Structure 1
Amino acid sequence: MLLPRIFAPVRACTRASSAFPIPSNRVTDALRNINGFTQPSPTLSFMRHASHQSQGRANGAKDGPGKRLGAKKSGGEYVIPGNIIFRQRGTAWFPGENCKFGRDHCIFAMASGYVRYYRDPLKHPKRQYIGVAFEKDESLPYPQNGARRRRLNMLPVETDLKPVETPEAQLVLDGGDGADAAIDMSTSGLQRNKSGTVLSLGMNGYAFRESNWSIGRTAEAANVQVKKFIPGDRFTAWQKSKARIALNEEKKRLRLAGKKATKPKKKVMRS
């Protein structure tokens, strides 16, 4: 439509020329009548229409929502066994101290402590590791030859097992064949508790316990009498058991025969 575009030039010409025989309002009315307008032209409004369909939301895509990969615990954060520290696809990060791999390559904690992200050139020059330190002020990796804490938060310490000096120099034990054997307690690592029981050093090397043969003879030493088992007549017991089984089978057969004799009720179809 060219009418709105020529309104301004026509008004300017009518105002500038005084010899124009038609008043300015008559000129605009004539132009409106020529173009078919009876009412004043409305104000122009520009509207943009979409040229194609709008895009869908990101979480509703055909591939589904995201897998929520990435770091779940930051460096220095406290974790307990089983906490997932990092989720990933592939091996961008490797498990370090007190950590392990999951089947989907996630790294989770194996001990309580504080998360550390670090590198270990002695293990691998380029790999990145995630570990758990037991103390907040510790840094990873641990020194190669330093004392290392275990999962029970304990340090390995060497202990000297000194023989216990007792008034008795010799201890007489009963051997397997009934012979008595004399053992020197000062050199054999044996001890006595408050009740006088002999304690020996176990296979683990740090605990004293009573020997198995002495535990087995505790009842004998206390003069505990056990009632003797009398088996009785096994043939008669077998006959009674056989008769009882036959009687139960007969009762079961009669019970099933009574159920077959009674006619089942007819089912009524409800509409």
Structure 2
Amino acid sequence: MLLPRILTPARAAITALKPSYAACISLPYSFDTLRSTNAPFSPTLTLVRHATHQAQGRANGAKDGPGKRLGAKKTGEEYVIPGNIIFRQRGTHWFPGENCAMGRDHTIYATQSGYVKYYRDPLKHPKRQYIGVAFQRHETLPYPPNAARRRRLGMLAVQMDQEASSSPKVDVLDGDMQLGEVAGSETAPRVVPRMKAQSQLVMGKRYAYREANWQIGRAAERAKVKVREFVPGDRFRAWRKSAARKTANAERRGLRGKRK
């Protein structure tokens, strides 16, 4: 406390004053003023401590964790395989070109093996930027207009025989024609009628040819196999089948527990 150090000089200063001033100043009143000023809980003194740094958190730091790692993942003329991600983006800054596709998060990836090409196609769209994959490094995208589309079908190039390539081509709709050398001879061209197929194939999903369901269901009839006819309203027979199936499943579960 500073009070003991201040009281002694204050007494000396008040005593040294002239009698006129000393009479006006009462000694107890001045000491009470000093005591109230230097008290530990003084109502006249307010202490405010300001923070030396921000307590809420970082102002310029990342709010939602690390970044999303957007941008180019493959450079130009870099070799890629199907499924390789070429560019990650938010929005369509780049569009998929030749042999490329775009995911639902606007990620552009390769659909064929080749070399990455970044290019523009003024004839297709004047302001868009495209990313494509070329099969050869020296190729440039986009391909010339009205040019044949280049595709990689995964086929092996084999040299054809000259005899097979020089044989004449004959198209026959109603049957298979066998070619000969001279017309009117035994080896002359003749039409061999095709045998009618017993089952009619119909193209279904995924471009697969298969028989109709009603034809598949009559396979046993065509093979002359006797099958017990199904009666739609026979509930007792259906109950017996379900009971037998449940019994077999219970026995199978019991055997499974014994094996363990």
The TM tier, using the shorter chain, reads: 0.3 to 0.5
TM-score, normalised with respect to structure 1: 0.42
TM-score, normalised with respect to structure 2: 0.44
